[in-house]
Amino acid sequence: MLLFSEYISKWLYDADGYYSRIGQIGKSGDFITSVSVSKFFGGAIANKFVTLVLNGKLPKNSVICEFGANSLYAVKDFASFVAGLYPELLTTIEFLIVEKNPEVAKKQRVDLEDFFDGKVCFNVVEEITGYEDRVAFVYANEIFDAFSCELLYNGRFAVVNGGKIEFCEQIPTLLQKASSYGIQKGEVALGYEEFATTLYNAFTKSYFVTFDYGQDFARNDFSVRVYREHQTYPLFELTDLAGYFKNSDITYDVNFAHLKNSFTESGFSFVDYKNQMSALVDFGITELLERYMEKAGADAYRAEAAKVSRLLSPSGFGERFKMVSFSKGVTVLRMEGKIIFTEK
């Protein structure tokens, strides 16, 4: 018998867990994410970074840090767009991939060595150490929906016993935490606070942006579900979990109120929260597309525009997915919906 948090952790992160291999993302995998839909997702994030550099808010020798890189779609797209926007930066920045699974990290190192061909500085690490005096631009896509969590119902937490879910555990401290976020039924994420604190201490200054699905309030219902071959299975509709354990993805909606509080309590300043459509437009994705049309022509533009449309469409990724950002060592002012960065 295991607490649900222990069960989902084994499912995803054991040596033979679901995330111990690469290739789950995309048409041939179990699910599609923004990074696999269009290269302009990583391009827009790169444009955000370049803009901060050009405005003098981040140094040219910034560390570009990514969590949850998996198949490396985003970091490759990020680097490719930087090469087009401000090629000089590729000689001064350092890419830092944080990957806890040693086998995945090994594959990532080989892949990046081939991709960068010795021309760009990069590192793949299990934990961030030795960067305390560096400034970083940090990004992630869909990592917080894969943090371990407990399931709460009628004041009790779930255990998994013989492949079946039972609500029988009482955890007073966690129940109090759930109550503080208005959660009476649903997922209670674990580890947000530790992640935020670790990231805060990792760099002398940093800007962090992440995208994920969810909302900034408690749904008070279960969202936990399983993905396999692009089919979605609500967890409580599965009669036998053993057939899905470790060979399919399991996830849940992010409670952004919990995430925001975790970061601000650790010392970060809250910057912004909005849907993915608004965020990517703010990051300059439409201008990048226009620039692409000028260089690649109308036919290539139409093909890429159709992909970007999925990222922005309210019926696609545009509304369901949210962006939240935080900063350490940067003061944020808001004027007419725009964000202006000034040094502390």
Please state the rounded mean pLDDT for residues 205-226: 97
Q: How confident is the model at residue 344 (pLDDT cuts 50, 70, 90)?
A: very low
| Encoded tokens for 306 | 């159709």
CA distance 36 to 284: 19
Which pLDDT score, from 0 to 100, does residue 229 have? 84
The answer to which of 189-198, 230-239, 282-291, 327-336 has the lowest mean pLDDT is 327-336
CA dihedral 214, 216, 219, 225 (to 10 degrees): 20
Residues 6+ apart with CB under 8 A from 198: 128
Which pLDDT score, from 0 to 100, does residue 268 have? 98
Q: In this predicted model, what pLDDT tens digit does every residue of 23-45 receive, in sequence order?
A: 566 555 666 889 999 999 999 99
Element (H, E) at 180: helix 172-180
Q: Is the pLDDT of residue 305 over 60?
A: yes
| Encoded tokens for 24 | 């789950």
Please state the rounded mean pLDDT for residues 219-224: 96
Q: Is the pLDDT of residue 332 over 50?
A: no
- The per-residue DSSP string of 19-63 comes to GGSS--BSTTSSB--HHHH-HHHHHHHHHHHHHHHHTTSS-TT-E
Q: 155-167 as b/e, with b when 16 or more CB fall inside 10 Å?
A: eebbbbeeeebee
Residue written as tokens 């703010």? 282
Architecture of the domain spanning 17-142+190-221+250-343: 3-Layer(aba) Sandwich (3.40)
Residue-range domain boundaries for the chain: 17-142+190-221+250-343
CB 120 within 8 A of CB 95: yes
Which pLDDT score, from 0 to 100, does residue 32 have? 80
CA distance 241 to 56: 52
Q: 326-336 as b/e, with b when 16 or more CB fall inside 10 Å?
A: bbbebebeeee
Residues present in the chain in total: 344
Q: Is the pLDDT of residue 90 over 80?
A: yes
> What rounded mean pLDDT belongs to the chain?
92
CB 97 within 8 A of CB 125: yes
- Residue 140, beta-bridge partner list: 67, 210
Residue of 99, 95, 103, 82 whose CA lies nearest to 123: 95
CB 164 within 8 A of CB 140: no
Please name the amino acid found at residue 78.
F
Report phi then psi at 8, rounded to 5: -70, -30
Which pLDDT score, from 0 to 100, does residue 306 have? 96
Q: In this predicted model, what pLDDT tens digit does every residue of 122-171 receive, in sequence order?
A: 999 999 999 999 999 999 999 999 999 999 999 999 999 988 999 999 99
CA distance 161 to 173: 23
CB 197 within 8 A of CB 266: yes
| Encoded tokens for 153 | 């119902």
Q: 34-53 as b/e, with b when 16 or more CB fall inside 10 Å?
A: bbbbbbbbbbbbbbbbbbbb
Q: Taking each helix axis from N to C terminus, what angle separates 73-85 and 39-54, rounded to the nearest 10 degrees?
A: 50
Which pLDDT score, from 0 to 100, does residue 12 have? 96
